[in-house]
Structure 1
Amino acid sequence: MWRDPEEEGRISPGGLCRGVRSPPAPHRMHLLTMIFLLLMLQARLTQTLFPSPEDGWQIYTSAQAPDGKCICTVVAPAQTTCSRDPRSRQLRQLMEKVQNISQSMEVLDLRTFRDLQYLRNTESLMKVLDTKLRATDSQRNVNAKSFQELKDKMKQLLPLIPVLDQYKSDTKMIVQLKEEVRNLSNVLLLIQEEMGAYDYEELQQRVMFLEARLHACMQKLGCGKLTGVSNPITVRASGSRFGSWMTDTMAPSADNRVWYMDGYYKGRRVLEYRSLNDFIKGQNFVQHLLPHPWAGTGHVVYNGSLYYNKYQSNIVVKYHFRSRSVSVQRSLNNAGYNNTFPYSWGGFSDIDFMVDENGLWAVYTTNQNAGNIVVSKMDPLTLEILKTWDTGYPKRSAGESFMICGTLYVTNSHLAGAKIYFAYYTNSSTYEYTDIPFHNQYSHISMLDYNPRERVLYTWNNGHQVLYNVTLFHVIKTNGE
């Protein structure tokens, strides 16, 4: 509730100093309000004056929040406001005035606090003096001793005179500060009216335009370099220690089916859940019985078909869910199998299928490659190998691996404390060692795959089905249109 400043801060020690005021608290509150308003206006003006970026945008995007919403953070090229803009110049001048007023108020506040302490200390002295004066007035005779006592008391009160004079001066300063704040309020109201609805609508249109541009850029240039992995999101706890679960990376957005394959060898039963919510609840699923058992956990669902490694062989199989039949199968020449070159956790993980923004991949190794990880780009229709890269990284030293935007990322362990340690770039046939930590919550990862549609990592961790969001770094060149 607003209260009249004139009615506050009155000091009346012993009834002798009525009318002496300290700096009213509402003035300071009003001043803080003005400073806040100025900062808000300056920030808004700065946003309004930004032109289109001429240089490359840096975009860090964490693809999916826990609530399913896409997160994208843009670091735009540095821009500066136009120093000749009259409103910007006027706001700077007002900010300087407010700063000066603020400093004056602080000095005044400290001085008033000090003087108040002095007045409180002299209050008892004033009461004694008042009592003696009343007694003297009633007796109408003053002896020498009483007169000397009164004289001594009066000497003790002499320092109060400059304090009261200072209060008079401070009161005048408060009146001046009130007037300056009132003038600032009027000027700010005028600026606010001048920057009113038109600039707000213009800013809103600008934001919408930038959002549309950013969305278009992300659609066209969705690839980026992995810079971070979120904390794990446990979706469900089910099945054995080892297994795999996935969605179709090529399915339309309305198709949210989940496929579930428990175990790492000799399995043939694939459960198809209608949605992620049904998978969480363990309901509404159909069963597919594969004609050939699988090996490992490196399966993927891509464009309506399951790609997996046939048990005790280096044969890769494409199984079509709708027709419930094998579309094609082919031997992956020289590829190790049956725990010849598995990941560090074993589990017949010799051949690992992956899908990213560029299509279907197979990760494995051969004797000719001395057990180092081999990456092959595959034709999803025929399972023919289109191109192969030797990464030079020993597969048995890898905990798991996954592809993002043509880059193979390798973890250094499947146990607690694992991190993404190695990256191989197929577009340049180069590699680098990385240090990207992620929280291995259940201490035994047996499946780790990237889903480019959702931009998340699917993980099977010690009987838990877990998701990780990823953060990618993009540099998008623009021409400032």
Structure 2
Amino acid sequence: MKLHVIVPLCALFTLTQQAPAQCTCELTNSEKVFPHGKLGSVETDALKCNSDITPQKTLELESLLLGLERRLPQLQDDVSTLEKEDDGDLYAVVSLQVIENELREMEQFMDQLNSTTLAHQHLTADTSKQLEELRAKMQELETYDTMQVVKTQRANKNLVQELDQCNNRLNVTTQPTQPPQGNCPHGTFLNITGPRVYTAGEYPGSHKYGAWGQDPKPDAGKESWYWLVMLTASNRFANYVRLYSSLSSLIVGVSTPGNVLISPSNPTTNTIQGPNVVLYGGELYYNCYNLDSVCRFNLTSKTVTTLQLPKGTRFNSKGNFCHLEECYPFTDLDLATDESGVWVIYTTTQDFGNLVLSKVEEGEPLRLGQTWHTTVYKQGVTNTFMACGVLYATRYINKDLEEIFYSFDTTTGEQRFDIGIFIKKLSPNIYALNYSPVDQMLHAYCDSYMVSYKVLFTLNGHADVFY
């Protein structure tokens, strides 16, 4: 009996040790292997193209051409002046010297223009070749999209853009501020265009803070001059103003007559503090060093006059222009010019940090004229400027855009917070913004670059652009 039982158990044990039956199938993929390495190469080439071709390169050439356009009529005027001074074939030595300087500067200007043009031609040729190669690679890569996913995504993206454009056309645009026609000889403030000028000047990448522009009330013979103030010590102080005989001279970095010293050292008494500076009537207006006062420096007599601001005025970086990410140090006082003269924009403890606007009256002694109190908080503003007796304030939108969002009309007392005019930036921060009533330009100092924008006005319902 025992043997009868053991045999079947052994047989059962033997059967359980046998390998189970296996089923295999062969899968053949008819699709080609996607070349991920080639896609990475295309992305790298595209990034290189983006870094090589920038708006700054285009604007550099435009700035040079604009400078040449303005230089030639000036030379023609100087030659005409020389011809009038002919006295028996004996020409005025001074006029000859002026023309000689003009020709020398134009020669330097043309050299820079030719160099820039040649560099752009090489860049254009290289970029065109790279784009052709990229197009061929992308066409090859699209052959792997057998499900047409990329094609569908592209069609959807185009459809979204068309819908956005349709919505933008339907939306009512914000009306710009409307100062009285009798108050502004140019008409109604309409828009900002540009940038028209973009240059690093003589010191590319240096002196992050500063200001530049034209004198709205220049001395005779200095109508085409430009001025520049750079904060050369700790991004806070400056002790001189730099002069240029023309816009093209400023662009190419040829300073004539050069620097006018305010003080021999920096910082010291009468030193410029902060970037908000203007030149008017041959006199520089700025925030006095370590004071809640406006200083006026006469470029001819080299004398300084001080104007004390009201008690409680915030200074020494306690009432700066700001946006969410940062404040601009030592921008407590903002000086501005327009068709009527010089203004100072500041804030006081009594006004709880809101903007205060005062007219600076010319003459001796220097004194403060009428004052207006606003309800816009200064640290929510990045810059201010004046045009035709209207105060405008800007705010930071992003690194590419600044918005003129606020206005205060000194004639009517009307405030508006819905201006909605945008400034296209080439650098993230605008540290100084000056309006020039000479040619209706806005001169901005942005991270060591000098940029200008054209202000458009409407006159009798028509847009008039002043060039």
What TM-score results when the alignment is normalised by the length of structure 2? Answer: 0.53
Q: Which has the higher contact order (CA 8 A, sep 6+)?
A: 1
C-alpha deviation, 1:415, in angstroms: 4.9
C-alpha deviation, 1:222, in angstroms: 1.5
Question: Alignment partner for residue 299 of structure 1, among 274, 277, 285?
Answer: 277
C-alpha deviation, 1:223, in angstroms: 3.9
Q: Does 2:244 align with 1:244? A: no
Change (3 A) 1:221 1:393: closer
| Residue of structure 2 in register with 1:320 after alignment | 298
| Residue of structure 1 in register with 2:436 after alignment | 451
| Residue of structure 1 in register with 2:227 after alignment | 259
| Residue of structure 1 in register with 2:306 after alignment | 329
Change (3 A) 1:466 1:320: same
| Residue of structure 1 in register with 2:248 after alignment | 277
Q: Does 2:412 align with 1:412? A: no
Alpha-carbon distance between aligned partners in 1 of 2:284 and 2:403, rounded to the nearest angstrom: 29
| Residue of structure 2 in register with 1:362 after alignment | 344
Q: Which runs of 5+ in 2 are unaligned?
A: 1-64, 72-180, 264-269, 463-467
Deviations 1:326-385, CA, capped at 9 Å, x for gaps: 2x2121123211111111132200111111112211100100011000010110223311
Question: Alignment partner for residue 370 of structure 2, among 387, 390, 402?
Answer: 387
Q: Tell me the amino acid that sits aligned with residue 423 of structure 1.
A: S
Specify the SS of the correspondent of 2:379: helix
Q: Tell me the amino acid that sits aligned with residue 277 of structure 1.
A: S
Alpha-carbon distance between aligned partners in 2 of 1:271 and 1:440, rounded to the nearest angstrom: 25
Change (3 A) 1:355 1:414: farther
Deviations 1:302-329, CA, capped at 9 Å, x for gaps: 0111111112211211111112222x21
Question: Alignment partner for residue 382 of structure 2, among 379, 385, 399?
Answer: 399
Question: Alignment partner for residue 430 of structure 1, among 407, 410, 414?
Answer: 414
* 8 Å CA contact 1:415, 1:445 repeated in 2: no
| Residue of structure 1 in register with 2:196 after alignment | 233
Specify the SS of the correspondent of 2:249: helix
* 8 Å CA contact 1:400, 1:414 repeated in 2: no
When the two structures are aligned, how many residues end up with a matched partner?
A: 264
C-alpha deviation, 1:476, in angstroms: 8.2
Alpha-carbon distance between aligned partners in 2 of 1:353 and 1:457, rounded to the nearest angstrom: 14
Alpha-carbon distance between aligned partners in 2 of 1:253 and 1:476, rounded to the nearest angstrom: 35
Alpha-carbon distance between aligned partners in 2 of 1:394 and 1:220, rounded to the nearest angstrom: 26
Change (3 A) 1:295 1:220: closer
Change (3 A) 1:444 1:476: closer
Change (3 A) 1:221 1:229: closer
Specify the SS of the correspondent of 1:279: helix
Query: Which is greater in Rg?
Result: 1
Q: Greater CA deviation, 338-347 or 461-470? A: 338-347
Q: Tell me the amino acid that sits aligned with residue 285 of structure 2.
A: Y
Change (3 A) 1:404 1:68: farther
Alpha-carbon distance between aligned partners in 2 of 1:322 and 1:253, rounded to the nearest angstrom: 14
C-alpha deviation, 1:453, in angstroms: 0.9
C-alpha deviation, 1:475, in angstroms: 3.7
Alpha-carbon distance between aligned partners in 1 of 2:314 and 2:274, rounded to the nearest angstrom: 12
Specify the SS of the correspondent of 2:331: coil
* 8 Å CA contact 2:222, 2:245 repeated in 1: no
Q: Does 2:290 align with 1:290? A: no
* 8 Å CA contact 1:224, 1:405 repeated in 2: no
Moved over 3 A (4+): 65-69, 218-221, 474-477
Question: Alignment partner for residue 332 of structure 2, among 350, 375, 380?
Answer: 350
C-alpha deviation, 1:402, in angstroms: 0.4
Specify the SS of the correspondent of 2:248: helix
Deviations 1:181-228, CA, capped at 9 Å, x for gaps: xxxxxxxxxxxxxxxxxxxxxxxxxxxxxxxxxxxxx99952433221
* 8 Å CA contact 1:234, 1:464 repeated in 2: no
Alpha-carbon distance between aligned partners in 1 of 2:387 and 2:361, rounded to the nearest angstrom: 18
* 8 Å CA contact 2:183, 2:388 repeated in 1: no
Deviations 1:64-121, CA, capped at 9 Å, x for gaps: x96669xxxxxxxxxxxxxxxxxxxxxxxxxxxxxxxxxxxxxxxxxxxxxxxxxxxx
Aligned-residue CA RMSD in angstroms? Answer: 2.5
Change (3 A) 1:368 1:241: same
C-alpha deviation, 1:278, in angstroms: 1.6
C-alpha deviation, 1:447, in angstroms: 0.6
Alpha-carbon distance between aligned partners in 2 of 1:282 and 1:219, rounded to the nearest angstrom: 40
C-alpha deviation, 1:254, in angstroms: 5.5
Q: Which runs of 5+ in 1 are unaligned?
A: 1-64, 70-217
Alpha-carbon distance between aligned partners in 2 of 1:236 and 1:407, rounded to the nearest angstrom: 29
Specify the SS of the correspondent of 1:319: strand
Q: Tell me the amino acid that sits aligned with residue 390 of structure 2.
A: T
Alpha-carbon distance between aligned partners in 1 of 2:383 and 2:416, rounded to the nearest angstrom: 17
Deviations 1:105-154, CA, capped at 9 Å, x for gaps: xxxxxxxxxxxxxxxxxxxxxxxxxxxxxxxxxxxxxxxxxxxxxxxxxx
* 8 Å CA contact 1:362, 1:376 repeated in 2: yes
C-alpha deviation, 1:233, in angstroms: 2.4
Report 1:91-240 matches (<5 A).
222-237=185-200, 238=204, 239-240=206-207
* 8 Å CA contact 1:378, 1:385 repeated in 2: yes
What TM-score results when the alignment is normalised by the length of structure 1? Answer: 0.52
